[in-house]
Amino acid sequence: MKKGIILYVAEGREELDEWMDLSAEKKRLEADDVCLATSESELAYGWWYMLTRGMQQISCLRASYDLVASSIRAEGRPFRLCG
């Protein structure tokens, strides 16, 4: 079963770089694909994006962006959107 995770960036979204390498988060979260969202419309787009890429299980996880370390930090527990 292919697993996708949408990271909803709540803190630090103003400083967030549009093109970040998410391979470390992907490996740490044991997901087949990871994308970022900073608004509800981007969250809906991420869900559609994951569905079109064949993800059977899609979850959302709150995250924050650290400008100094230039990294994303996932927080809390993921909630399943589908699958």
Chain segment 25-37, per-residue pLDDT in tens: 889 989 999 999 9
Neighbour count for residue 44 (Cβ, 10 Å)? 13
pLDDT in tens, 66-83: 877 777 888 888 889 876
Per-residue model confidence (pLDDT) at position 10: 82
Q: Which residues have a Cβ under 8 Å from the Cβ of 51 and sit 6 or more positions away?
A: 58, 82
Mean pLDDT of all residues belonging to the chain: 87
Whole-structure pTM value: 0.86
DSSP SS3 for 17:
coil
**Sequence-ordered list of residues with C-beta below 8 angstroms from that of 1, at least 6 positions apart, any chain:** 56, 57, 83
Which pLDDT score, from 0 to 100, does residue 8 have? 93
